[in-house]
Chain A
């Protein structure tokens, strides 16, 4: 390029002050940027740690139970019940006719004085009833039971926590009461399976999470069984078969928009379509599952399409080139290779569905459900709804139970994410 020779200029001096300043500024910018990033990471990790520590410290007590020792002399009590009545078919009728609750209460008063009845939980007599049903011979003598302590006594067991509420005279009295009982060995507290095996109750000392957990599991099963196949098939069709035209574009935009619709709208949709039109039972896991499936499906479709898109075209060419049909290319190559991505999307969608409350409230899954659902059409509730319901209770005993339920929900979410990571690593292929 002799005709267009560059005009003569000085060789660049890399050591001028301006150059040095530029270098320093660059280093500073690098450092600053790294600091911002680090700060963001530390901040979010801090929030997470704070959440976990708070939840675990206040929720751990929810898994324990405070119990009081109560001796009951059945022979001397005015319980009109004898072992013979409990042998026959009408055992249940006989048990429910007998005033076991009164007997338990009087026994507590006898053992601990005037206010003894307030030391045990309102529902603690159920434990006595179950014991009698299991062994009617108890009725002939005296038996010592460990019964659930009332919320007040349980608060006493916490000692003086320094809060304003703990300074109230009745609370102070209960604290000293607990201390005396503890010295006498008449109280104990420890881990109890009750919280994990029982269901909802109006008495915070008797509640458990099992009903809600089972409701959530049933709902999730319905969601997965519907959203996964429909979502994957939709993704496959849109990505592999759909002709490129206006209709495909409209469907694509609709699905993307569907993923962004607030979940409460899905609740209204579920109410209108599944309950009003199709007359499915309200408060049932099947309706919850259907509604959440509508919400999860777009997430799976989007993740699935991206995963299918990321399978290198060379693999398709290779399979087509030796005479694989389109279905064979899909089933043998594209789907196995995109499975990790599809699964990740599915689990993200399912995790979101598991934590979803609003749509379930609208389809009636906020009902008080004291027995775990036996099937898909039984009244059920779900973990997040249970948390919502308990957080609304007036009885202070529900506070720690709410935190404990949150721990169960978080563990369920962690388990799901763990499965997702495991599956992804298991099926991940490199090429």
Chain B
């Protein structure tokens, strides 16, 4: 990694020292002229889980969707600024967005398995990207992905059943397994537990712990306790701006900004 590109604007020593995976510089997002994200710069390290927190409508999901260009699917959204994956500008016209989305996987707020079998749900990604060399290889990928997502023991006997027949928590882990199956480098999670009960949530959080280190993970959450539990770095957004970004322990125990403190202590949100 070329430090010249990434280093200057980052204030925090701890963030600079780690291996950078994705960097965002001066990112603005406009929805039909209305500014949703205002000049946000952030670094995502390989070893850490980064949490985006903030009140509803603060733009944290919008910002997350910039990292794999999911905002491209919204005709009125316009993204400016620079976002890099391993030093490559992902908004460069030469960047293939399909490959980008395979490298930067995404898990959505509502579990959204395909209405196909559990096996097909996982196998779909490797199949369209040509990652499996044969039927046996594909089966191995499916098993490995389900094991990593902690779902294998629950579904190994019913891989041909529909993915939509699983419980909500299982569906969400299926979606995580589906994202893992294409061997991404970064996994973006957009409020992955907001539709789940506390037990399913605990399982997902446990899973995030296990996946840390293997994938760079960015998680958007409106649950501050969750951010504190799963992340090493936390970014606090408010009204489209990044108010504070730093080690999770600092943000929650010793926030620099008054706004952050107010939010953490439940003054608003």
Contact = CB atoms under 8 A, between A and B. Distances in A.
Interface of A: 243-244, 312, 314-325, 328, 332-333, 337, 429-431
A322 B108 contact: no
Nearest to A314: B112
B59 interface: no
B8 interface: no
A118 B193 CA distance: 89
Interface string B94-115: 0000111110011110101111
- List the 6 closest pairs (A to B, CB-CB), nearest first: A323-B102, A314-B112, A321-B106, A323-B101, A322-B125, A429-B115
Contacts of B115: 315, 337, 429-431
Nearest to B102: A323
A321 B164 contact: no
Contacts of B175: 318
Interface in B149-179: 164, 175, 178-179
Given A314-B112, A317-B108, A322-B101, 16 more contacts: A312-B112, A315-B112, A316-B73, A317-B70, A318-B114, A320-B70, A320-B73, A322-B105, A322-B106, A322-B124, A322-B128, A323-B182, A328-B128, A332-B124, A337-B115, A430-B115
A322 B106 CA distance: 7
B231 interface: no
Interface in B106-149: 106-108, 110, 112-115, 124-125, 128-129
A322 B114 contact: no
Contacts, number: 71
Contacts of B124: 319, 322, 324, 332
Q: What does DSSP make chain A's interface, helix, strand, loop or mixed?
A: helix
A334 to B, nearest CB: 11
B128 A321 contact: no
A374 to B, nearest CB: 45
Interface of B: 68, 70, 73, 75, 98-102, 105-108, 110, 112-115, 124-125, 128-129, 164, 175, 178-179, 181-182
**Which of A244, A319, A323, A324 is most buried by chain B, counting CB atoms within 10 A of its CB?**
A323
A322 B101 CA distance: 6
B99 A323 contact: yes
Most chain A CB neighbours (cut-off 10 Å) among B102, B106, B107, B115: B115
B204 to A, nearest CB: 17
A321 B98 contact: no
Contact of A322 (B73, B164, B182): B182
A315 B121 CA distance: 11
A238 to B, nearest CB: 14
Given A317-B70, A317-B112, A318-B108, A323 B128 contact: yes
A320 B75 CA distance: 15
Contacts of B178: 318, 322
A304 B106 CA distance: 29
Nearest to A333: B114
Given A328-B128, A332-B124, A431-B164, A322 B179 contact: yes
A318 B128 contact: no
A337 B113 CA distance: 13
B60 to A, nearest CB: 17
A325 B125 CA distance: 11
Nearest to A318: B112
Nearest to A328: B128
B114 A315 contact: yes
A316 B181 CA distance: 18
Contacts of A315: 112, 114-115
B126 to A, nearest CB: 9
28 contacts: A244-B75, A315-B114, A315-B115, A316-B73, A317-B70, A317-B108, A318-B175, A321-B70, A321-B105, A322-B101, A322-B102, A322-B105, A322-B124, A322-B128, A322-B178, A322-B179, A322-B181, A323-B98, A323-B101, A323-B102, A323-B125, A323-B128, A324-B124, A324-B125, A324-B128, A325-B98, A325-B128, A431-B115
A361 B107 CA distance: 59
B77 to A, nearest CB: 13
A431 B164 CA distance: 6
A316 B112 CA distance: 9
Contacts of B181: 322
A328 B99 CA distance: 13
Nearest to B127: A332
A100 B120 CA distance: 72
A317 B179 CA distance: 12
Nearest to B182: A322
B128 to A, nearest CB: 6
Nearest to B75: A244
Contacts of A431: 113, 115, 164
Contacts of B182: 322-323
A225 B12 CA distance: 65
Nearest to A337: B115
A328 B102 CA distance: 14
Contact of B164 (A317, A325, A332, A430): A430
B128 A314 contact: no
A319 B114 contact: yes
A244 B110 CA distance: 28
Contacts of B106: 317, 321-322
A317 B105 CA distance: 11
A327 to B, nearest CB: 10
A359 B105 CA distance: 55
A312 B173 CA distance: 20
Nearest to A243: B75
A325 B178 CA distance: 16
A95 B6 CA distance: 100
B108 A321 contact: yes
Contacts of A320: 70, 73, 101
B85 to A, nearest CB: 13
